[in-house]
Amino acid sequence: MRRKIVVGNWKMNKTWEDARSLLMEINRFASTHKPKCLVIVAPPYPYLDRANDIFMHHVEVAAQNVSQFEKGAYTGEISAEILKSIGVKYVIIGHSERRTIHHETNEIIRDKVATALAHGLNPILCCGETLDQRVEEKHLDTVRAQIETMLDSVSSSQMQNIILAYEPVWAIGTGHTASPHQAQEMHELIRGILKEKYGDRIADETTILYGGSVNSGNADDLFAMPDIDGGLIGGASLNAGDFGSIINASCKHI
Ligand code: PEP
């Protein structure tokens, strides 16, 4: 059975003082409720190590990005090897903000996936269409092309270490959530692509998250859909109460 997962993506938010309080609140929630789904938090880079210390075994930590390069003269970049060496297990790759603001292409993202896997990190791999692509009814083709390129060199055994996240760009941070039907349609397509490439077992076992303005009010309806296995949460993950409600909503559907 595939895992239900909730990931909190903090983006570039919180000073250390505020971050520490939130990490401790999330840790308290997880220690008390012992959620059956996997909970992962992606704080800014400088807090990863300290977040790992606070969480111990209750919650996992993810980086928000990784370099596609191995090591060396890449000022400001962080390699998969460095992340692994401080105990990070997960990394978000291909977030739409990295694609648009930092010009990451599907090919760059494919290379990031390769280096993350080579160093034993588990990618949380994002895909999703823009509003124009959806209006022009190109959303299914867009996401298919993203998935096919990003997974180009990923083997069946490596696929077991990948979490996918469908995040329509028009829904991220906008308050406009995809309807459960719209999200399910895309998740079904993504699972179909995995089936074509890797067969039924891998497709059935791969966790596919939905992300895009998920909150405590809409999480339950989204997570009730058969191919939605949890969420990648931005804004609502910055509040322990909201994040806890979303975790509870995900655990209900195990
Ligand atoms: C995200 O950053 O991945 C995201 C889904 O953000 P939000 O939940 O704020 O839309």
Taking only the tens place, the pLDDT of each residue in 173-195 is 999 999 999 999 999 999 999 99
CA-closest candidate to residue 23, choices 40, 4, 5: 40
Give yes or no for residue 123 having a pLDDT over 80: yes
**Locus of tokens 């919180």:** 14
Give yes or no for residue 106 having a pLDDT over 90: yes
* Residue 120 binned pLDDT confidence (cut-offs 50, 70, 90): very high
Residue 83 half-sphere exposure toward CB, CA atoms < 13 A = 32
* Residue 1 binned pLDDT confidence (cut-offs 50, 70, 90): confident
Indicate which residue's Cα is closest to atom 2 of ligand 1: 234
Give yes or no for residue 57 having a pLDDT over 80: no
Instruction: Answer whether 209's CB lies under 8 Å from 163's CB.
Output: yes
pLDDT tens-digit readout, 131-147: 999 999 999 999 999 99
Predicted pLDDT of residue 223: 98
Atom nearest to 172 CA in ligand 1: 10
* Residue 91, helix vs strand vs coil: strand
Q: Residue 61 is encoded by which pair of tokens? A: 């930590």
Pocket of ligand 1, candidates 124, 174, 176, 214: which has the most ligand atoms within 8 Å of its Cβ, to mutate? 214
Pocket of ligand 1, candidates 5, 7, 9, 96: which has the most ligand atoms within 8 Å of its Cβ, to mutate? 9
Atom nearest to 235 CA in ligand 1: 9
What are the b/e assignments for 200-209, b being 16+ CB within 10 Å?
A: eebbeebbbb
Q: Is 148 exposed, middle or buried (0-12, 13-18, 19+ CB in 10 A)?
A: middle
Predicted pLDDT of residue 58: 82
Distance, CA 136 to ligand 1 centroid (Å)?
A: 23
Find the DSSP H helices in the chain: 16-33, 48-55, 80-85, 96-101, 106-118, 131-135, 139-150, 156-159, 180-198, 200-205, 219-223, 240-252
Distances in whole angstroms, Cα of residue 225 to Cα of each of 60, 87, 155: 25, 33, 28
Give yes or no for residue 56 having a pLDDT over 80: no
